[in-house]
Structures are given as structure tokens and as C-alpha cells.
Amino acid sequence: MINMISNLALPIIVITIVTYGVYKKIDVYDVFIEGAKESFDMIFTMFPCLLGMIFAVNIFISSGILNYAYIFLEPLLNFLKIPAQIIPMIIMRPISGSSSLVILNNIFQNYGPDSLIGKMASVIQGSTDTTFYILTLYFGSIKIKKIRYSLIAGLFADLIGITSAIIIVNYLFG
């Protein structure tokens, strides 16, 4: 059942969009091409961020410094059924979207996207957003200085998102 929902979500969206487009007498193919062209702009703005983050994150992670941190954290993580490899992702997710994407890519490379760690990292990335970045950008744009309790509420949502991602993946796929 759950598998069916997961697998049907994308086809249903595609069919709905295309059918509604034809129903509203849109030249669906032309409009599709026009939209797909926008991806070039998006990729060009994304590339420098990814390059910068891959550069820094890879130096940091491959230096092996985290392996020392894990030795202390291992008993606690084992108890909570959290794979240690996922920790950098949890820390970076609210701060930077591209760096957590880089970590996700590394996890896929090392453990495969279908491993438990791979699935867990996918769900964490998919169910949370870069709270710090969004708050800075959105409040900055209208010159708000006092952000009151927004950071706490945002980070709390991230915490619950990450926790439920770990529990759900352990339960569904563990």
C-alpha cells in the first residue's frame, strides 16, 4: 500500500498536469519546452554553490576528523538507531541546502541510494529545509531586525522532521 502511494504519486501528478493543460487548450509540448529551458538559469546559479560546498565539505569529511567524534557518540547513536554517517547531514541541513545535497551525494556514492542510510538521508533531505538561509533571505529582504521566536520554531520543526524521518525509515525499511 505504502509502496503503491510512493510509486503512484509521480505518474498521477504528471497525468493531471498534462490533462489539465490540454483541457485548458494549452499547447502542452511548446509550454513544456519553454519551461525546461529555464533549467539552464537554475543550473548556472546552482553550480558555483555546489562547487564551493563540495570543495569544503569533501576536505572536511575525507580528512577523517569525524571518525574521532563518532567514537564518543557511537553508543548513544547505536541506542537511538541512528547511523553515524548521517550526522554531518543532520547538522548541515538547516544551514546550507547545497552542502547537505553534497553530503547526500557522498552517502549515495558510498552506501548506495537503496541502503538504509541512503533512504534515511533521502527522507531527511526531502522533509526539511534550510531554515537559516530562508530566515536570512526573507527577513533581510524587508529589513526585519528582530526575528523573535522564528528561529526556535523553525529549528523545532526541523528537529521533528529529522527525528520522524529516522523513525519512519527505520520502521518502514529497517
Least separation, in Å, of the C-beta of 28 and other proteins?
A: 6
What is the size of the binding site for other proteins (CB under 8 A)?
A: 105
Measured CA to CA, the distance from residue 134 to residue 126 in angstroms comes to: 16
* Dihedral sign (CA 63, 65, 71, 77): negative
Asked whether position 116 contacts other proteins by CB under 8 A, the answer is no
Measured CA to CA, the distance from residue 85 to residue 36 in angstroms comes to: 35
Least separation, in Å, of the C-beta of 117 and other proteins?
A: 12
Measured CA to CA, the distance from residue 68 to residue 83 in angstroms comes to: 15
48-67: contacts with other proteins (CB under 8 A): 50-65
Least separation, in Å, of the C-beta of 78 and other proteins?
A: 22
Retrieve residue 108's grid coordinates.
Answer: 549515495
Per-residue interface string for the shown chain with other proteins, residues 9-48, x marking contact by CB under 8 A: xx--xx-xxx-xx-xx-x-x--xxxxxx-xx--xx-xxx-
Measured CA to CA, the distance from residue 66 to residue 87 in angstroms comes to: 9
Comparison of 75 and 144: residue with beta carbon closer to other proteins:
144
Asked whether position 113 contacts other proteins by CB under 8 A, the answer is yes
The residue within the footprint of other proteins, chosen from 90, 96, 103, 117 (CB under 8 A), is 96
Which of 76, 162, 152, 150 is CA-nearest to residue 125? Answer: 162
The residue within the footprint of other proteins, chosen from 86, 89, 90, 123 (CB under 8 A), is 123
Comparison of 85 and 131: residue with beta carbon closer to other proteins:
131
Which of 92, 101, 91 is CA-nearest to residue 122? Answer: 101
